[in-house]
Structure 1
Amino acid sequence: MKTYDWIIIGAGITGAALAYELTKIGFSVLLLEQYQTPQNATRYSYGGISFWSATTAITKQLSTEGLTRHRILSEELNADTQFRELDLLMTIPVDINPETMAKSYQDVVIPPRLISIQEACELEPFLSPEAISGALTVKHGHVHPEKITQAYIQAMVNLGGEIQFGEFRELVTTSTKKCTGVKTNTNTFQSDNVVICAGGITRKLLKSMGIAAKIYFSHAEIIEIPSTDIQLHSLVSPANLQRFQQEAESTQIDELWDNPNHEIVSPILDAGVVQFLDGSLRIGQISRVLTNPQAEINSTASEQWLRESITNILPSLGNLPGTWHHCLVAFTQDKLPLIGAISEFSGLHIFSGFSSPFLFVPPLAVRFANFVSGQKDEIIKQMSPDR
């Protein structure tokens, strides 16, 4: 039986990018994915690249590296990731003072510009002027989530890497606490190293092995609308994003996550929309913090909530025919991913928990591949799961 250098669990953007970078360096790599048709967070993502929003030395460095990487990726991977820079329009609700909201963004590396209601409606003609007190705008990066992920996978395969589809069963370990492979519903694969890139199910996967990791997940909900004649001029999101505050609140008491059917905090809705180059739309986003990854969600009520919220801001979009979707989104306590060796088992690693995956995964996949090849990297060290 073949023994791989690396097996990667999960073929979303994290696993795909890491598989490519490890293969590119010369490792033998197997990428494992449960679904032939993706059901992960990458599949339902906006694909945004918020290179302007960095606030720390680490995130500024990685934002620069990420933007540089995106500008050459289509050529390197020999496939169009649909990378572009477009106007991000962040709406400010009528009950919030625009100047106060603008000040809350003063510490980011490229502060967004405050614009009036009239300017906002000139930038995005479909916007309802009655719904806002003003807006913030800044240039924002964007890729097509599935296209960049598939480009990474195909480039990995072209370099000799492999991908297999199967339902994950368990990690193969020895009595000496060494991880030596992965068992699926159809096969057992051997490797020197296993890295978990399983997004929202990472916590459950590790817990099944008795490993307590500070990685969490939310249930995200969107509406996907097929190609439409409506042509938006910008990517729209709220200036007062609630999701990061929700994530911070939900991780304050780690023990709450041990309750198998618990809603830790109330659900929130950040009303926004992105339009892809083919004219299709993704409208979102509801976030629920439910400790059961298989929790039942009332899709009818959720879709109504999403439609009412987007109608308030962009009335033309509210009744367009579309389909409600749901996925799990991984996050951590400090917005930085967990990257590196898991101390409980030698040969077991994690690369998960990205708050801005399309910005940070490409540069950190390069760094991780170089790090496990022997290069020193202080940034990777600071993202250790033992931090």
Structure 2
Amino acid sequence: MKIYDWIVVGGGITGAAVSYELTKKGFAVLLLERDTAMQNATRFSYGGLAYWSGTTDLTRQLCTEGIDRHRNLSAELDADTEFRELDLLLTIDRGVDVEQVAANYAHFAIPPQLLSVAEAGELEPLLNKSAIAGALTVRHGHISPTATNQAYCQAFVRLGGTIEFAEVTGLISEGNRISGVKTVGENYACENAVICAGGWSRSLLKAAGISAGVYFTRAEILETPPVDLQLRTFVMPALLKRFELEAESSKIEVDFLWDEPGKELHPPILDAGAIRFNDGSLRIGQLSRTLSDLNAKVDRQTSEKAIRAGIGKVLPDVANLPATWHDCIVAFSADNLPVVGPIGDRPGLQVFSGLSNPLAIVPALAERFANRAAGEKDWAMAYAPLRYELLSPDRFAKK
């Protein structure tokens, strides 16, 4: 049996980037992905790169490194990631204190500019100006997540990496050490395994008796075919409810509910937003739920109606476009930071998951992950050393 240096579990944007970066370092890498046709959070992402949104030294550093990588990634991977920069429009509902909302963003690396209703309407002509009290705007990165994921995978294979489509069912142990990965049809041996399975990471780790502070929401969106409607900006609400949902659902006092079947930790929330991709299609959303079951069923018709009603308030012309409902599992962590690094008491096992702002920082963080795997010091990077202890899965270890 071939023994791989690394097995990467999960072929979304995180797993593809980590696989590519590890292979660049000369490691023999196997990437395991369940679905031949992507149905994950990468596939249904808005594709936004919030490189302006760092609020700490760590997150500002990762965002700066990340956008630098994105600006050159198409050339590096020899494939078009569809990278661009556009105006993000953060709408503020009528009746809300616009100055207070703007103050909430003052500590961001690049604070958004406050716009009047008229100025917001000039920036986005499709906007329903009667529904807002104002808006914030900032330049924002954007990619096609699918194209970027494919570009990483193709570059990975060109470097000698291997991709297998198989459902991972567990980890193989020799004592405490992880020595391989089990799938439905075959077992694979490795020196190291890294879990990059997004929201599915929690169940894989739990099956191995590991708690790493990774949770998940079920996100629901609508996707249109290419349309003639010209949405100029990326529209999102300035007061995002998703982060509050994540914070409330990962509090220690409700943590036990995640391990009980059929639980909904908090009522669903809707952050009404829309983005037009280069091919003319739109993604509209986002309704988020914290359900303890990965395979929980939801009423898609009710969800679609809620999403259309929400976006109809700010972008009436978008609300009735033909669209298909989709859902996916989105990972997040208990402290809003990535969960990246080794599991202290399980040699051979690492995690790369729980990223709330994944697309902006994945390229830089995956590069740093591979550098550390190769034993390289952070001073070899163009940027300052990273405080890896802030990202370690062990920060969530139960005392």
TM-score under structure 2 normalisation?
0.95
Structure 2 residue ranges without an equivalent (≥5): 379-385
User: Which digits, 9 at most, give the CA deviation of each residue in 1:35-83, with x for residues without a partner?
Assistant: 0001110000001111111110001111110011011100000000011
CA distance in 2 between counterparts of 1:214 and 1:382 reads 13
3-state SS, counterpart of residue 106 of structure 2: coil
3-state SS, counterpart of residue 226 of structure 1: coil
- Indicate yes or no: 2:193 matched with 1:194: yes
For 2:287, the aligned partner's letter is I
1:265 Cα offset (Å): 1.1
CA distance in 2 between counterparts of 1:181 and 1:257 reads 27
Q: Is the 8 A contact 1:367 1:380 kept in 2?
A: no
Listed as ranges, the matches of 1:1-387 within 5 Å are: 1-174=1-174, 176-252=175-251, 253=253, 254-377=255-378, 378-387=386-395
Q: Is the 8 A contact 1:368 1:380 kept in 2?
A: no
CA distance in 1 between counterparts of 2:262 and 2:73 reads 42
User: Which digits, 9 at most, give the CA deviation of each residue in 1:245-293, with x for residues without a partner?
Assistant: 1101111122222222211111100000011000000000001011111
CA distance in 2 between counterparts of 1:83 and 1:92 reads 27
3-state SS, counterpart of residue 61 of structure 1: helix
3-state SS, counterpart of residue 287 of structure 2: strand
CA distance in 1 between counterparts of 2:210 and 2:110 reads 39
For 2:27, the aligned partner's letter is F
Q: Is the 8 A contact 2:212 2:339 kept in 1?
A: no
For 1:24, the aligned partner's letter is K
CA distance in 1 between counterparts of 2:56 and 2:85 reads 22
CA distance in 2 between counterparts of 1:368 and 1:173 reads 23
1:173 Cα offset (Å): 1.2
CA distance in 2 between counterparts of 1:343 and 1:97 reads 46
For 2:266, the aligned partner's letter is V
CA distance in 2 between counterparts of 1:328 and 1:243 reads 14
CA distance in 2 between counterparts of 1:40 and 1:197 reads 12
1:237 Cα offset (Å): 0.2
For 1:380, the aligned partner's letter is Y
CA distance in 2 between counterparts of 1:206 and 1:95 reads 45
User: Which digits, 9 at most, give the CA deviation of each residue in 1:172-217, with x for residues without a partner?
Assistant: 111x221111121222211111100011111111111111221100
CA distance in 1 between counterparts of 2:6 and 2:90 reads 41
3-state SS, counterpart of residue 372 of structure 2: helix
3-state SS, counterpart of residue 53 of structure 1: coil
For 2:59, the aligned partner's letter is T
For 2:108, the aligned partner's letter is V
**Superposed CA RMSD:** 1.0
CA distance in 1 between counterparts of 2:285 and 2:138 reads 20
Sequence identity of aligned pairs in percent? 54
- Matched with 2:383 is none
Q: Is the 8 A contact 2:67 2:360 kept in 1?
A: yes
Q: Is the 8 A contact 1:169 1:184 kept in 2?
A: yes
Structure 1 residue ranges without an equivalent (≥5): none
- After the TM superposition, which segments of 4 or more aligned residues of structure 1 sit over 4 Å from their partners? none
Q: Is the 8 A contact 2:67 2:361 kept in 1?
A: no
For 1:379, the aligned partner's letter is R
1:313 Cα offset (Å): 0.7
Q: Is the 8 A contact 2:169 2:204 kept in 1?
A: no
CA distance in 2 between counterparts of 1:138 and 1:328 reads 28
For 1:385, the aligned partner's letter is P
CA distance in 2 between counterparts of 1:198 and 1:338 reads 12
Q: Is the 8 A contact 2:34 2:165 kept in 1?
A: yes
1:162 Cα offset (Å): 0.7
For 2:207, the aligned partner's letter is S
Of stretches 317-326 and 185-194 in structure 1, the one that deviates more from structure 2 is: 185-194
CA distance in 1 between counterparts of 2:100 and 2:343 reads 42
CA distance in 1 between counterparts of 2:233 and 2:23 reads 36
CA distance in 2 between counterparts of 1:303 and 1:208 reads 34
TM-score under structure 1 normalisation?
0.98
For 1:251, the aligned partner's letter is S
CA distance in 2 between counterparts of 1:147 and 1:344 reads 37
1:376 Cα offset (Å): 4.0
3-state SS, counterpart of residue 295 of structure 2: coil
3-state SS, counterpart of residue 36 of structure 1: coil
3-state SS, counterpart of residue 137 of structure 1: strand
CA distance in 2 between counterparts of 1:257 and 1:130 reads 41
For 2:293, the aligned partner's letter is N
3-state SS, counterpart of residue 294 of structure 2: coil
3-state SS, counterpart of residue 52 of structure 2: helix
